[in-house]
């Protein structure tokens, strides 16, 4: 059986475009390791994003800037080993595509070749057009990312809502149309007014995935550590927590420590 026919039931970039056309919402979550990816794929997630938010939630950095291409490839390889069906998109990290389209292509090729991922994500619009076009020209699907783009945090100065002013909103609409026109298969819109996100989503054919962009887009993405309540001190308005794993894990570990200290663990049944 060929690789193509084996993957007939897989979610592809075309599946997502069709989902938008059919009005079916797209679910996307970040994952960075084999075990979590396996659970999310089993649960039926449409897209896993190996986000450069790994820099924050896996490595403990304050921003996404420090994570390297090698580290992103390591996370992507682990995720790919855990999934059977969903589409896996990998962030091109800071410094691997800006201002140099040849470097962008080389970085994207390394991700595709070394991890087996299905697509890459690139932050920015007009200013990274050349990089996106060159990556696309090699047959590598590209997802865009506009609005709050965390790799530009030192330009913005804060993580507050973007494009509230008319000029930035106009630029965002122009950028989203550009990404659609040059052939991106989708884009993330992060932390922008819901009305603007709705306008953006209805003005392009590619699916728009929102995070803090309201309900009138084609799908939603969250950082999995936020959804699961592992990052319990991060509480933006857009976040819905489905678990409180920080407390649950801490309780389990406290219980384990108590059992070890009291010699309750291991008992006879747990010994050979």
Binding stretches for ligand KIV (CB under 6 A): 30, 49, 51-53, 91, 145, 188, 190, 211, 221, 223
Q: From CA 217, how far away is CA 227, in angstroms rounded?
A: 19
Phi/psi of residue 205, nearest 5 degrees: -85, -30
**Cα–Cα distance for residue pair 1/7, rounded to 1 Å:** 10
Residue in the shown chain whose Cβ atom is closest to ligand KIV: 51
Cβ proximity to ligand KIV: between 82 and 144 the closer is 144
Q: How far is the CB of 222 from ligand KIV (least distance, A)?
A: 8
If the CB atoms of residues 135 and 255 are measured against ligand KIV, the closer one turns out to be 135
- Residue closer to ligand KIV, measured from CB, 51 or 82: 51
Please tell me the distance from the alpha carbon of residue 82 to that of residue 84, in angstroms, as a whole number.
7
For residue 247, the minimal CB distance to ligand KIV (Å) is 23
- Residue 218 CB, shortest distance to ligand KIV, in Å, is 14
| Min dist. Cβ of residue 137 to ligand KIV (A) | 24
In the DSSP assignment, the letter for residue 27 is: E
Dihedral sign from CA coordinates of 69, 71, 74, 77 = negative
Closer Cβ to ligand KIV, 188 or 208, answer by number: 188
Question: What is the separation, in whole angstroms, between the first and last Cα of the chain?
Answer: 46
- Catalytic-residue membership of 233: no
Q: 57 and 32 in contact (C-beta within 8 Å)?
A: yes
Catalytic residue among 123, 190, 233, 270: 190
Known catalytic residues are 190
């Amino acid at each position: 059986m060929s690789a193509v026919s084996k993957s007939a039931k897989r979610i592809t970039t075309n599946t997502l475009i069709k989902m938008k056309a059919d009005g079916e919402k797209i679910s996307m979550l970040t994952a960075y390791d084999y075990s979590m990816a396996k659970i999310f794929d089993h649960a039926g997630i449409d897209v896993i994003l190996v986000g450069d938010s790994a820099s924050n939630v896996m490595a403990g950095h304050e921003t996404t800037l420090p994570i390297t291409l090698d580290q992103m490839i390591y996370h992507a390889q682990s995720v790919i080993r855990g999934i059977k069906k969903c589409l896996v998109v990998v962030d091109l990290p800071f410094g691997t595509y800006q201002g140099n389209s040849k470097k962008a292509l080389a970085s994207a090729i390394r991700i595709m070749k070394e991890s087996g991922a299905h697509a890459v994500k690139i932050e920015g619009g007009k200013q990274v057009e050349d990089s996106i076009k060159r990556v696309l020209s090699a047959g590598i699907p590209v997802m865009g990312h506009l609005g709050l783009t965390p790799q530009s945090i030192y330009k913005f100065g804060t993580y507050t809502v973007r494009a509230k002013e008319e000029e930035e909103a106009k630029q965002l609409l122009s950028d989203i149309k550009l990404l659609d026109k040059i052939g991106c298969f989708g884009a993330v819109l992060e932390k922008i007014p819901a009305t603007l996100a709705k306008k953006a989503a209805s003005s392009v054919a590619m699916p728009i995935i929102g995070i803090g962009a309201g309900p009138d887009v084609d799908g939603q993405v969250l950082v999995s550590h936020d959804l699961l309540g592992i990052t319990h001190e991060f509480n933006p308005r857009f976040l819905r927590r489905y678990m409180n794993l920080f407390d649950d894990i801490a309780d389990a570990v406290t219980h384990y420590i108590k059992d070890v200290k009291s010699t309750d663990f291991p008992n006879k049944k747990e010994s050979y």
